[in-house]
Amino acid sequence: MSCRSIASLGLLAGLALTWFASPASGFRGGAPSGFTGSPGDGAFSCNFCHTEPPGSGLVQILGVPGAYQPGRLYTLTVRVSDPEKFGAGFQITAENAEDEKVGGFEIIDPNTLYADGLTPWVTHSAEGVDNSAQHWSSMGGAFEFKVGWRPSAGSTAGPITFYAAGNAINNDQFHTGDRIYFASETTEYGGCLWDLNGDGRIDSIDLTTLLQSWGDPYGAAELGEMLGSWGPCP
């Protein structure tokens, strides 16, 4: 058994003790990291606790570009819906073809936070769950969470897949009676490597960005590559 598997089993055991000791508390203030159901998360998901079979709801990852450009900020929307439930929580992550976490999430919505304070995962905040319950009916039995994601500037990870788990809740403060839904969306690399601001060309604006980060992560080699690619993207 791998170290990752042992660590994951230890985490699951700890979570089980937490749930049985205080079932009403749940994770209203954010799901623990690593429970999106993604390959990189070992396929662990919120189904470990929330075990009601799925109904007619779903989770959607909206705003994923067909092709991404390094360094550009993208606003994604995680939408959880279920006409028979009364609120929502979620978790999202991003992985490359090797199941490694890539890019950087940014908190742009007070309804969200980093899971366990770790930037590869974004989850709901307690405020977000409360707001989802408050606005659930007016949004047609759904709620949306906004998430910022920025591919690492000056690098490419090839195709990147977002994985999300959405929890449609009955809002009774217990983990029973909730439904988990899953979604994934893939974006392809589509920008110039050194087009750091995503405007379709490599120019003085990108050069300024590189020089502002001189030494970490950029140096003479990266400067040479940028200058050799000067001008409009092919």
Apex 36 CA angle, 57 and 129, nearest 5 = 60
Cα 206 to Cα 67, 136, 192, 220: the distances in Å are 20, 43, 11, 15
CA distance 152 to 71: 5
pLDDT score recorded for residue 123: 98
Q: What is the per-residue pLDDT across 136-181, written as a single tens digit (0 to 9) for each?
A: 999 999 999 999 998 876 555 689 999 999 999 998 877 778 999 9
CATH topology for 27-189 is Immunoglobulin-like (2.60.40)
pLDDT at 17 over 70: no
N-to-C CA span, the chain:
47
Quick check: 8 pLDDT over 60? no
pLDDT tens across 173-227, in order?
777 789 999 999 999 887 677 877 767 788 999 899 889 888 877 889 889 988 9
| Structure confidence at residue 53 (pLDDT) | 57
Mean pLDDT of 52-65: 86
**Sequence spans of domains, the chain:** 27-189, 201-232
pLDDT band at 67 (very low <50, low <70, confident <90, very high): confident
CA–CA distances in Å: residue 147 to residues 63, 75, 94: 10, 6, 12
Between CA 44 and CA 37 the distance in angstroms is: 5
pTM for the structure as a whole: 0.74
18 compared with 38, residue with greater pLDDT? 38
